[in-house]
Amino acid sequence: MDKSAEKVARVGCGSGFAMDRLEPALELARSGKVDYLGFDALAERTLAFAHLRRRADSSKGYDDRLDELLEKFAPYVANGLKIVGSFGAANVEAGAKIVHERLGEMGYHGLKVAAIQGDDVLEQVRSADPYIAELGKHVSELGGRVNSANAYLGSKEVLEALQNGANWIVGGRLCDPALYVGPICHALGWSLDDWDRVAHATLVGHLLECSTHVTGGYFADPPYRVVEGLGNLPFPYAEVRDKTAIITKLEGTGGRVDEQIVAAQVSYEVHDPAAYTNPDIVADFTQVTAKVVGPDRVEVKGARGKPRPDLAKVLVAVDMGYKVVAEISYAASGSLVRAELAEGVIRERITKMGEVVQEHRIDMHGVNTMVGDHFRAKNDSDPVEVRLRVAARCATQKAAETISLEVERLFLEGPAGGGGVSRRVEPVLGVYPVYIPVEQISTRITYMET
């Protein structure tokens, strides 16, 4: 009998994005029901802006939550819980050093911190000079506007670090499912060349990676889809066996886990369910089934796999100038007419600014923001209130600030009754995918023991 069939890997979600709540993950740690927690701490823009933080301060660029994470989770790591996360963002080495130093300062000894580096492939991308279709340019044509380039790494290094006794793993742009594929394969003794098993682990990782998505978050649509307890949604965890896995949540928490929710998450961000491509695998989810086997317990199985791709996906962040978003409200009788008058004022002034304003749009919340003018009839009565939203992308910060101030000036120079102005100007980073051969990526793992 295959011994791996008798084993169970117990993995839980630690976070689904950089600013996710930590309390649900802490509840999983306290429960003792998981041996591994996977923390997705990055999104495409999150990583790009982490590079900007590192550029401003070479000691920064990692997950800003690390101190809080260590304070909350270090006791559980000391008792055997293993943590894997993309906490390193744009500065893996500094992030790993923070984890190592804080664990030592807190008096936890005999723990091993692993830093997985190599996802920063800016030099390789500059050398390969790929074409970015969305911009119609090669990387070389963008010059200093290229801010960063990070490749998605798979679970190979995660698995190796766990095999070498790592208790806390700090990575950069780790592929989301890899946060779980590595621990599952480690716990069950699976090879990363066992394609169907890796596909099964990838399915589990895909279900857990978005935290509350699989416990009811982003699913509720009453009266058709009712989810109770949205204010107390837990993070999910999985009991993974050979060929099957149970997706579930802690008892006494809000939300629910059922076939509908699991099915929705299986299809989430999967462009081709027959070829869901990750650094570890090309997974086929077309035969996946979900079956309720108990209260908030869904059994999933049926994923199949093909060998990993030869090309690695890389996200290239490009400086696209500055973005301004400014808003003002109009209320009561004639609010729409007054908002339209204000819109005309702003459009006239943006036109005078010329090409420094690279693109812009003006919307009216409650009237046309979501669906344009498609459902707006001429005889519609005025809304009770209208909020005018002005958004623009500018070549310079000064131009963005100018548009922001023009909305503020509507208090003096616009129609009557405006109020509640809000303004925000920030850098814009465009994030675009390119591909390079996997063999051009050189990874390394460094270890630090407390």
Evaluate whether 202 touches 146 at the Cβ level (below 8 Å).
Answer: no
Q: Per-residue pLDDT for 372 more than 70?
A: no
Residue 327 identity: E
pLDDT at 371: 53
Residues 6+ apart with CB under 8 A from 248: 236, 237, 238, 239, 257, 296, 297, 298
Determine the pLDDT at residue 409: 97
Query: Token digits for 19?
Result: 């600013």
pLDDT in tens, 299-322: 999 999 999 999 999 999 999 999
- Do the beta carbons of residue 447 and residue 100 sit within 8 Å? no
Residues facing residue 311 across a β-bridge: 437
Closest CA to 126 of 318, 278, 322: 318
The band of 288, judged by pLDDT with boundaries at 50, 70 and 90, is very high
User: How many residues are listed for the chain in this entry?
Assistant: 450
Q: CA 119, CA 158: separation in Å to the nearest integer?
A: 13
CATH value of 319-431 in 1.10.3210.10, 3.40.50.720, 3.30.70.120, 3.40.50.10380: 3.30.70.120
Instruction: Quote the mean pLDDT of the chain.
Output: 94
Give the gyration radius of the chain's Cα atoms. 25
- pTM (two decimals): 0.92
Q: How confident is the model at residue 18 (pLDDT cuts 50, 70, 90)?
A: confident
Question: What tokens were used for 400?
Answer: 């963005």
The answer to which of 3-12, 120-129, 283-292 has the lowest mean pLDDT is: 3-12
Comparing 34-48, 111-125, 267-281, the range with the smallest average pLDDT is 34-48
pLDDT (0 to 100) of residue 187: 98
Domain extents in the chain: 3-118+153-309, 319-431
Give the pLDDT of residue 1.
47
- Residue 380: per-residue pLDDT: 59
